[in-house]
Amino acid sequence: MTQAESSQGTEQVPLIEARGICKYFGAVTALEDVYLKLYRGEVLGVVGDNGAGKSTLMKILAGLYPPSAGELLVEGQPVHFSSPRDARDRGIEMVYQDLALAGNMRIDENIFLGREWTRRFGLLKLVNNAESLRRAKEHLDKLKIEVKSVKQRVEDLSGGQRQAVAIARATAFDARVIIMDEPTAALAVKEVRKVLDLIKDLKHHGIGVILISHRLDDIFYVCDRVMALFHGRNFAEAPLAETSRNEVIGWIMGNKSPAAQAAKIFDLN
């Protein structure tokens, strides 16, 4: 931590960096030579049309898919993730678009899934439910997320509450990078604001956040920088202050600027 702080003035080492990432599914090219950098306390918006490769890139960063080619670095160190567990061990968490929650299990069990609290019982290591419930309650309180009881099953929760549980899981341990894939897509207006404010909160704690969203309102509310993918490649990137909604919409459609658009039309002819 101190190392990162002291280097803040000078050239920072990115929390996570992707270099020349390619991903092929059989004959399909999902990503081709993609670069990405994310710094401490930064919110990076990733935009692109359906099929642009956003989710695939995020799943590579989260350790769910291995890249076909290219390199991942965490705080300057080359890493190789063979499962989401490796990524989580490095402090990289992801909130999936479908939330990836087990509806049949309690809220606390979902938050600590794969990292259960245990205690020794002679030779046996058993799940410590009291600890799990207490810690989950504590954590949700910290995030200002209200639920009736952490003992509730996730399937009994509303969409917003489920989203909150998914975020709570990503933040339950010392995450350094949190990737959110369309976290607001299924939410009511009031809930969207809460999620976005939560992202701002995370940012202030020095966590790096990557936000995929189709909603430009979200991007322009929380992001520091925005990058666009188009047909599986880096297309454009800019600090938020130096771009506009219209330009970003153009990027999503594959247009760099009015001039470039004209050139493209000219090319086609």
Applying CB under 8 A, which residues contact other proteins?
Answer: 62, 64, 83-85, 88, 94, 96, 98, 100-105, 109-110, 113-116, 118, 124-127, 145-146, 158, 160-161, 163-164, 169, 188, 190-191, 194
Is 14 or 160 the residue whose CB approaches other proteins more closely? Answer: 160
In the bound complex, what is the minimum distance in angstroms from residue 67's beta carbon to other proteins? 17
State in angstroms the smallest separation of the CB of 70 from other proteins.
21
Give the residue with the Cβ less far from other proteins, 14 or 91: 91
Which of 4, 100 has the CB closer to other proteins?
100
CB of 169 to other proteins, least distance (A): 8
Instruction: Give whichever of 162 and 203 is closer to other proteins, judged by the CB atom.
Output: 162
Least distance (Å) between residue 149 CB and other proteins:
12
- Give the residue with the Cβ less far from other proteins, 87 or 236: 87
Minimum CB distance to other proteins, residue 49 (Å) = 24
SS3 assignment for the chain? CHHHHHCCCCCCCCCEEEEEEEEEECCEEEEEEEEEEECCCCEEEEECCCCCCHHHHHHHHCCCCCCCEEEEEECCEEECCCCHHHHHHCCEEEECCCCCCCCCCEHHHHHCCCCCCEEEECCEEEECHHHHHHHHHHHHHHCCCCCCCCCCEHHHCCHHHHHHHHHHHHHCCCCCEEEEECCCCCCCHHHHHHHHHHHHHHHHCCCEEEEECCCHHHHHHHCCEEEEEECCEEEEEEEHHHCCHHHHHHHHHCCCCHHHHHHHHHHHC
